[in-house]
Amino acid sequence: MDTNTTSNEYVRGTLKTIVLNLLAEQKRMYGYEITQEVKERTSGAIALTFGALYPVLHKLEQEGLLVTESVEVDGRLRKYYSLTTPGSEAARTKTDDLERFVDAIRLLLAPKGLATE
Amino acid sequence: MDTNTTSNEYVRGTLKTIVLNLLAEQKRMYGYEITQEVKERTSGAIALTFGALYPVLHKLEQEGLLVTESVEVDGRLRKYYSLTTPGSEAARTKTDDLERFVDAIRLLLAPKGLATE
DNA sequence: CAAATATATATAAGTTTTTTATATATGCAA
DNA sequence: TTGCATATATAAAAAACTTATATATATTTG
């Protein structure tokens, strides 16, 4: 029922980091699971689309940051993704960068002259 | 000297909102001024590129959210941008959306299970 | 039983956005 | 006079994203 999803335009650029960060936490996830987890954790504010997610997963795999293992569950194929060593490193770096970016955005959104806290 | 600029990939998608929000605050700014203000307010964390900024400014103008007035200062042309009424409305909406997005990102980056504060 | 919904992955076409490179032009400092 | 800061702008190319679509099973609903 699409609770209160924002237009998603802001996800641009952060998708890779979101994926890496979740995998750093959960060890092993499949695509569908990632979309559900993001939706749940953000109360529907961020809804990843498959058309964006899968290409990113494939690209991260190509870059050697992720590895996959396919498992059949109830007759359906489920493809688990997990971080490689360079993937864990990238997750740390990118998460830090995103945190800094988010802080910077808040500086911009806060009316000039107001203290940060 | 490029203090500590993040790779800028996160600016993707937020550029329009950053511009609208600054103009809502400052009433009237020119392109170069916008890049300087953003750099300053974020201590160099966010550095806008002209190749991205100008197309966005032109597009917002086309959409009727901004109007321009050209002023000659010291023999140089300076093009001031300011919000129209629909532009002010868009600034509010988009700023709110971005705030909600930023909050959602923090939920994702915070390790699962930890309280929001 | 049929239809809809949830689960699950994936690609292709088209559009939008962004990066990178480039052009133009003035004022000031070294 | 060379370089840097100021100032705007466009074009070509690359990257990213949206939208639409295909496939397939299990479960729920009418």
The pLDDT tens digits for B11-60 are 988 999 999 999 999 889 999 999 999 999 998 899 999 989 999 999 99
Say how far apart CA B46 and CA B6 lie, in whole Å: 7
Q: What is the 3-state secondary structure (H, E, C) of chain B?
A: CCCCCCCCHHHCCCHHHHHHHHHHHHCCEEHHHHHHHHHHHCCCCCCCCHHHHHHHHHHHHHCCCEEEEEEEECCEEEEEEEECHHHHHHHHHHHHHHHHHHHHHHHHHCCCCCCCC
Interface of B with A (CB under 8 A): 6-7, 9-14, 17-18, 21-22, 25-26, 38, 41-43, 45-46, 95, 97-109, 111-112
Confidence of residue A1 (pLDDT cuts 50, 70, 90): very low
| Residues composing chain B | 117
Q: Contact, B25 vs B65, CB < 8 A?
A: no
Question: What digits encode the pLDDT tens for the residues A44-99?
Answer: 899 999 999 999 999 999 999 999 999 888 777 789 999 999 999 999 999 999 99
CA end-to-end span of chain B, whole Å?
36
Both ends of chain A: CA-CA distance in Å? 36
Query: Can you list the domains of chain A with their CATH numbers?
Result: 2-116 (1.10.10.10)
CA distance A71 to chain B (A): 25
User: What pLDDT is attached to residue A58?
Assistant: 92
Task: Give CA–CA dist A19/A15, Å, rounded.
Answer: 6
**Nearest residue in chain B measured CA to CA from A103:** B42
- For residue A43, which residues of chain B lie inside 8 Å, CB to CB? 104
Nearest residue in A to B22, CA atom:
A108
The CA distance from B75 to the nearest CA of chain A, in Å, is 31
Percent of chain A having pLDDT more than 70? Answer: 89
